Amino acid sequence: MTELIAQQLLNGLTQGMAYALVALGLTMIFGVLHVINFAHGEFYMLGGLAAVLGVTTAGLPYALAIALAVVTVSIVAWLVDRIAVAPVLDTRDGPATVLLTTFAVSLLIHQAVLQSWGPAPGRIDGLPGAISFGSIVLGYQRLLVLVAGIALLAGIEFVLRRMAIGRKVRAIAQSAYAAQVVGIDIITVRRVTFIAAAALAGLTGALLVPVTLFSPAMGQHVIINAFVIVVIGGMGSPIGAVVCGLLLGVLEALASTVVPQEIGTAIIYALLLAALLVRPQGLFGSVRT
């Protein structure tokens, strides 16, 4: 039983890292644009699709397929921003309108992929081989997800704290009006943030498809969990997104060893309800005055 728990813990950390990266992108968008992007899960799915097509159809090595996924999702995100986000962002009901427009984009992307690909899952091989610790096995692909995730989190922290674009992002997150007064191009920074967050989701999808398989519905599952993470961690809190993402992945994996998946999902939603009732601003969020 101990070895089973240890194995599930490793598996949960892999999935939790994916949740953390997707939720981090979601909270970046909320922190800078102050909107909720319902299409964010489809960016994750499109990253997985691009990687699968790159390997199976174009015959690309897996590393190039990952790069293809990032480029493809970045282009789609640019189009979504130009068509569905930027035109309505600064209107009177901007946040609510963006919520509706990105929800519509999510449905369009999902149905387009479902009709063209079909409901059948897709699979590609990632890094072969594994490390064994007795009966506990950590595949190199899962290890890649963990290492890449840590590197991405460290890189994002460096950009936000040490680079000019990061300081502009933090300034707009604190006050878009004040940032505009001092000469920051908030439109460009918003667009860069939106595209970067989407590219992060696409990269995560490309890293996960060798582990979890590709499915047109994979984005819908991950975005629901990402919303749970962002709410529990605190809207706009990067630390909350990372910590709660990892914890949720581990909780899911450990719960699957003792209860059916449906009950495990119910437990997660119960935690969301409890968080909203006890601490609405989230574990790492601040009270808005």
**What CATH number does residue 77 fall under?**
1.10.3470
Residue 58 domain-assigned?
A: yes
Residue 284 domain-assigned?
A: no
Residue 85 domain-assigned?
A: yes
Residue 32 domain-assigned?
A: yes
Residue 177 domain-assigned?
A: yes
Residue 289 domain-assigned?
A: no
Q: How far apart are CA 205 and CA 92, in angstroms?
A: 34
Query: Looking at residue 289, what is its pLDDT?
Result: 44
Query: Looking at residue 134, what is its pLDDT?
Result: 78
Average pLDDT, consecutive stretches of 10 residues, N- to C-terminus, the chain (289 residues): 80 90 91 89 96 94 96 97 91 87 95 92 88 85 93 91 90 88 91 95 95 91 88 83 89 79 77 81 65
Residue 288 domain-assigned?
A: no
Residue 145 belongs to domain spanning = 7-278
Q: How many domains are there within the chain?
A: 1
Strands 136-139 and 130-133: antiparallel
Residue 285 domain-assigned?
A: no
